[in-house]
Chains A and B, each alone.
Chain A
Amino acid sequence: MGDLVEQLVHGLTLGSLYAMVATGLALMFGVVRLINFAHGEFYMLGGYAFWYAYGELGLPYPAAALVATAAMGVFGLVYERSVIRTILSRTWHVQLIATLATSITLTNLAILVFGTQPKEVPTRLSSVIVEVGGVRLAWQRVVVLAAAVVIFAGLEWFVTRAKLGKAMRAMSQNREACAVVGVDVQRVALATFGISAALAGAAAALVSPLFNIFPDVGSLLTLKAFAAVIVGGFGFVKGAIAAAFLIGLAESLAAGYVSYAYKDAIAFVVMVLVLLVRPQGLFGRRIGI
């Protein structure tokens, strides 16, 4: 029984990670209709940024987490400005190949700079194990889940109350109308990328103490995040979040009870099943984020 709860907790941790990354992907697709194959690399780079800030520079955890988040935010802005802006008007083939190419470049650059050996960044909270009713879990996991909830609540507030957030939501529903009413479409696109990347960076800062950081970690993550976006219904952020948790839990349970080696295949299997049975996603075809 304790075993099951541990698996569930692990599933929630995974789900939080996938949800944060998937949200970024869903936001980008919702607002500018672009699938960013390099999204997992935002997480990867965020992880290395966190490692550097916490492990090498010795900053306290909150500061290091902030550094990672901010660094990725900036990276997201730069990425939008340089790569994305050039390909926004092109066909989806070009967009897909361009972001895939970026992904490969970033991954291999990371290998050159950081080496292939995974980096471990244990924090005090990840090492402190607490026992709750016969279940042993690291405090960090609680932090992850709590932070995820806070972040998603913040995001919801953002798209319903904040001017920029409302503009993002409007753009995801009707881009042309936004341009007509005077919304600075380019600025909103830029901000979306900054936010999406920052989300990935925050996820990395939260989860890296528990899992290792290595250059290749991004590619599988992109796939799983994309699976969540598809299962949740393209572009629909809340759906992606729900789907991400579903996938995280499924993966954890499968790893524990079916087979550890094939756990990474779970996300894909779930995705294909949903695509075959209900192509518009579990939560239907909603317009906008």
Chain B
Amino acid sequence: MRWTVFAAFLIVVPWLVAAALPGQQRYILHVLIFTTLYGALALSYDLVVGHVGSLSLAHPAFFGIGAYTAALLATEARWPFTIALAAGIALAGLVALALGVPMFRLTEHSFAMGTLGFAIVTQIVATNWVDFTHGPLCVTGIPKPQWGALRVATLPAFYWMGLATVALVGLLYHGLTTFRLGRAFHAVRDNQTLAAAASIDPLRYRMLAFVVGGAVAGGVGTLYVSYVGVLCPGELTVSLSVNLLVMIFLGGVGSLRGVLVGAAAFTALPEVLRMAPTWRMVIYGLLLLVIVIRAPEGLEGLIRRGSALGRRPFSSRA
């Protein structure tokens, strides 16, 4: 019952904002749209980091691959939005599949570095392959989403699209991280050796999380560029990985509610505080440092610490 009320509240937000703060409406909706997209992206990242325990730094690349695929297909080849979206998701997922096979053979540090290297190379390619990606000149004029007859053009419409996205991704996330699949993921994360003794193939589940996470990131990338209208190589920097890490660790890694709260706090707060981008990154860096050392379970963990089942995902092991 509470969920329905909350969902209804979320849906009517644009009207509430129009009524309460008419002058600020454009700005607030803009922030909310970003929040929903980041929420979905953070969830896709948490699948890999929080539930299967693989510290991948390649997520910006998948986001970027989805974004560029859709952007170029829409602007150069004039493909309809829905097909471009599907292509963005599919290509990002395929690249994740291709990357995962060699990467998951590596030990933890090398995996992190390898995925980081991939992200950096992707950015280098996006910046330098000017003939294809327009490089620093950016891809411009990306058309707005068109779902069949439905055209998403107004801010409230984008907000609802974002809301639907995060709801859908949340549903997928929930399905994957609970019940049998959740148990399999967590077994691989917490005790890979024992998981194998339980007939669970660690590689299979790592790949599953990685590919689904990558594909969803690609999808979010597509939606993102259809909203912003412009795509530059600067969107795929390592900073995005840091931002995602802050989001999931601040809110609570491995927790649906936690990650969404983290994403919301991360996106909304600097807007509220009106911070300059560079100062923002300094604060985030310090924040991430403090959180990961002092409170790795994030806000969610601090709340749960009261109950008997306190979870500590990345706390020290004796």
How far apart sit A94 and B285, CA to CA, in the bound complex (Å)?
14
Answer yes or no: A142 CB below 8 A from chain B CBs: no
Answer yes or no: B15 CB below 8 A from chain A CBs: no
| Contact present for A96 and B112 (CB under 8 Å) | yes
Contact of A268 among B121, B242, B288 (CB under 8 A): B121
How far apart sit A261 and B233, CA to CA, in the bound complex (Å)?
14
Answer yes or no: B265 CB below 8 A from chain A CBs: no
**Interface-located stretch among B74-82, B141-149, B214-222, B274-282:** B274-282
B240 to chain A, nearest CB (A): 11
| Contact present for A102 and B109 (CB under 8 Å) | no
Answer yes or no: A161 CB below 8 A from chain B CBs: no
| Contact present for B113 and A104 (CB under 8 Å) | no
Answer yes or no: B132 CB below 8 A from chain A CBs: no
Number of interface residues of B (CB under 8 A): 41
**Interface-located stretch among A50-58, A108-116, A129-137, A205-213:** A108-116
- Residues from chain B with a CB closer than 8 A to the CB of A230 are 110, 113
| Contact present for B282 and A94 (CB under 8 Å) | no
Answer yes or no: B316 CB below 8 A from chain A CBs: yes
Number of interface residues of A (CB under 8 A): 43
- Residues from chain B with a CB closer than 8 A to the CB of A264 are 120-121, 124
| Contact present for A35 and B109 (CB under 8 Å) | yes
Given contacts A101-B285, A109-B282, whether A96 and B117 have CB atoms under 8 Å apart is no
**Interface-located stretch among A65-73, A238-246, A269-277:** A269-277
- Residues from chain A with a CB closer than 8 A to the CB of B293 are 86-87, 90, 94, 98
Given contacts A102-B289, A105-B289, whether A262 and B278 have CB atoms under 8 Å apart is no
Residue of B nearest to A103 (CB): B285
Answer yes or no: B9 CB below 8 A from chain A CBs: no
**Interface-located stretch among B100-108, B159-167, B174-182:** B100-108
Answer yes or no: A89 CB below 8 A from chain B CBs: yes
How far apart sit A271 and B316, CA to CA, in the bound complex (Å)?
30
Contact of A105 among B124, B125, B241, B286 (CB under 8 A): B286
Answer yes or no: A227 CB below 8 A from chain B CBs: yes
Residue of A nearest to B101 (CB): A276
Given contacts A87-B293, A91-B317, A96-B109, whether A104 and B102 have CB atoms under 8 Å apart is no
- 8 shortest A-B CB distances, which residue pairs? A105-B285, A101-B288, A261-B128, A268-B117, A104-B285, A101-B289, A108-B281, A108-B282
